[in-house]
Amino acid sequence: MVDQPVLCVDGLGVELPGGRHVVEGVSLSLRKGDIHGIAGESGSGKTQLLLALLGLSPAGARLQGSARLNGEDLIGAPESRLQSLRGNRLSMVFQDPMTALNPQLRLGLQLTEVLQVHGRCSRTEARDRAASMLESVGLSDPLRRLRQYPHELSGGMRQRVMIAMALLCEPDLLLADEPTTALDVTVQAQILELLLDLRERLGMGILFVTHDLGVLAQLADTITVMRGGRIVEQASALELFDTPREPYTRQLLDAARRLELGAGQGA
């Protein structure tokens, strides 16, 4: 028997109030342990796609199609059901951890709340699990980190905290929205290596959104290229990089090569 995809999106569309279509007819699938990259420039619809999966589309948006997580359709699901899935079976890592983390709360409280909201364990057990997860994402002295506030950590360390928070309930699917864009090249490489390691250890599916195809070259098994809310090209990473079919894909590849060249010259 062929394994059922962790995520199966079929004909997904998102229309904002006023009639603007930000996602149109998007279909893709993702199996356990795979990393599927979504590439495109700003405004291509890639972030709106993730928000639709989470049930966080803007108020008044109209959604079409389906998006099944382990066979359960997320589109049109009751808010109560989506709340139980978010952070539990479906988690997200945002681009800027400073906007996602509460600057007024210690990290320990923010991490343990995730487990307690979903009724996973007691307060003491939650703290132990949070410390263990911080250690697993490469943060030293995790008990001290739990007592710190977000501003006391570097950007790369905050991103690791966000990844730890997203993984606390061992989700089936991790959504990552440009999680390395705000980081320098060295820290970016560390975060990408961490995601690859976590994928191997936990076997979760990862949907990774970025404007930089160079990042996906290091990470993705399959890549979907989006433009204007639509899919331009979809192929295995090897095929897409070796023989891109569409001019827009070649533009993104050229931009990634220029960035890589510039970074190399500046090193």
Per the structure block, which two tokens stand in for 260?
């890589």
Q: Please, what are the averages of pLDDT over each run of 10 residues along the chain (267 residues)? A: 81 95 97 94 94 94 97 95 90 81 93 79 87 90 95 90 88 90 79 86 91 89 97 96 95 85 60
Tell me how far apart the alpha carbons of residues 163 and 157 are, in angstroms, rounded to a whole number: 10
Q: What's the order of all strands across the beta sheet hosting 7-16?
A: 20-30, 7-16, 62-69, 72-73
E strand segments, 121-255: 173-177, 205-210, 222-227, 230-236
The domains of the chain are located at: 1-89+212-267
Position 1 scores a pLDDT of 35
Longest pairwise C-alpha distance within the chain: 55
Position 99 scores a pLDDT of 76
> pTM of this prediction?
0.89
Position 263 scores a pLDDT of 62
Position 27 scores a pLDDT of 98
The matching CATH number, chosen from 3.40.50.300, 3.30.565.10, 1.20.1440.230, 3.30.70.120, for 1-89+212-267 is 3.40.50.300
Q: Which residues are CB-neighbours of 75 under 8 A, at least 6 positions away?
A: 12, 52, 63, 64, 65, 66, 67
Position 255 scores a pLDDT of 86
